[in-house]
Amino acid sequence: MTITELKYLYHQDLLAEAIIEPSELDGGWVVEFRHKQGGFLMLTDIHGAECQYVDLDKASKSALAVGFSQVRIEAK
């Protein structure tokens, strides 16, 4: 889901938390969001491709842009 779509869900109070996890690429990070009704939603670009970040700060900024004031970071 894109940031815009995730913002909509956040403002509908449907997202529980933002999580940054190591990606399958070495040294990379992905951002996902836990839905309050269960399951996870991955941050994607407008073409549906999973967003990959090499910089943890940029991944955090994308997660915070959805509306959360904090982000959980999973260790590698």
Report, in this order, helix, strand and coil percent for the chain, each rounded to 5.
Answer: 25, 30, 45
Q: Are strands 40-42 and 15-22 parallel, antiparallel or unpaired?
A: unpaired
Q: Give whole-number Cα distances, 7 to 15, 26, 33, 39, 56, in Å.
A: 9, 29, 11, 17, 20
If pLDDT is split at 50, 70 and 90, which confidence band does 76 have?
low
Please state the pTM of the whole predicted model: 0.90
pLDDT computed for residue 75 by the predictor = 81
pLDDT computed for residue 56 by the predictor = 92
1-56 pLDDT per residue, tens:
999 999 999 999 999 999 999 988 778 999 999 999 999 999 999 999 999 999 99
What is the rounded CA–CA span in Å between residue 22 and residue 20?
A: 7
